């Protein structure tokens, strides 16, 4: 793995939104850590630590690389609201594989309408909209594991 591969890996991790990635490739350990997301216009700093294993007598050399990534000046999603997950579980767009999705891109929904189902510990929890809005983007694929506070939908409240 050369420096160009490492730089591409750093860029990929920065774009993915992951806060920490640990890899071991050909006896080289790579740890990439980034702080939580900043507000628009602020700068994120990503630190990468690369260690090559050596004998137990010698200490492993450590190379630290820092990449600065700034967010774009104009955010096309600035007027939209992100609906986030209130729990950890599995995301479902419909109540069963045979039924249509609760919502699709372009649908106008009212406050209280069901957006999706999140299965957590064999319990199926309907997630309802807290605002009347229009679905702009579905950010999660059906039957995908999700985390607490993970963005699920991008909606236009107007």
What pLDDT shows up at residue 63?
47
Kindly report, residue by residue over 45-58, the tens digit of the pLDDT. 555 555 555 444 44
SS3 74: coil
Backbone angles phi, psi at 4, to 5 degrees: -65, -40
What pLDDT shows up at residue 60?
43
What pLDDT shows up at residue 51?
55
What is the domain partition of the chain in residue ranges?
3-70, 81-156
CATH fold of 3-70 reads: N-terminal domain of TfIIb (2.20.25)
The class level of CATH for 81-156 reads mainly beta
Kindly report, residue by residue over 71-86, the tens digit of the pLDDT. 555 556 678 889 999 8
- Segment 64-70 shows an average pLDDT of 49
SS3 16: helix
């Amino acid at each position: 793995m050369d420096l160009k591969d490492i730089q591409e890996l750093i860029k990929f991790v920065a774009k993915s939104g992951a806060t920490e990635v640990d890899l071991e490739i050909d006896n080289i350990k790579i740890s990439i850590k980034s702080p939580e997301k900043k507000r628009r216009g602020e700068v994120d700093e990503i630190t990468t630590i690369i260690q090559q294993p050596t004998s137990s007598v010698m200490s492993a050399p450590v190379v630290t690389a820092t990449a600065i990534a700034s967010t774009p000046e104009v955010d096309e999603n600035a007027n939209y609201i992100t609906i986030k997950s209130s729990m950890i579980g599995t995301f479902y767009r419909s109540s069963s594989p045979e039924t249509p999705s609760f919502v699709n891109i372009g649908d106008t929904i009212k406050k209280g309408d069901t957006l999706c189902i999140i299965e957590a510990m064999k319990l199926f929890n309907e997630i309802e909209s807290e605002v009347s809005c229009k679905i702009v983007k579905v950010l999660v694929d059906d039957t995908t594991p999700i985390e607490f506070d993970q963005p699920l939908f991008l909606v236009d409240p107007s």
